[in-house]
Amino acid sequence: MNGKDIKLTLNSDLQYFAQQAIQSQRDKLSAEWGVVIVQDIKTGDIIAMADTNSPDPNDPGKVDAQDRGVRAVTAAYEPGSVEKMITAAALIEEGKSSPLEKFTIPSSYTVNGQTFNDAFAHGTEDRTLAGILGWSMNTGTVMAASASARSSATTG
């Protein structure tokens, strides 16, 4: 009935927190922009979707035109960090790892002649799978997947 029966799935408290968190990180890292999307995986509902540099709806002209859209649904970005989530989810779902499994991660990791590095410099570190995702570590993600493949090959 003319939009009166539409119900948003956004959680206003989580939306506010996500907006503050992504803007703070964008400012801290001097990034061009950032987005956060929080989804209920059981229902598919989007419960928070936040962009940096969001315009004031009462005065959208105060921000650059490029910041007036919703990058979370319109911007193209490298899928690398998204793929890390998919890899970790598959490892957990298949029982090959768990969020708290520990890995000792070197500064670079080579598999089949291809060397992987992270976007930040670090020495050898101990991280859980959850920590690997939290720090968006290429080395740790590849290491966890490789360890899973090796154990499958020797037990299967």
What is the set of active-site residues? 81
The residues near 45 (Cβ < 8 Å, ≥ 6 apart) are: 9, 39
Nearest partner of 85 among 152, 117, 44, 38, judged by Cα: 38
Beta bridge partners of 102: 128
Q: How many residues in the chain?
A: 156
Other beta carbons within 10 Å of 90: 13
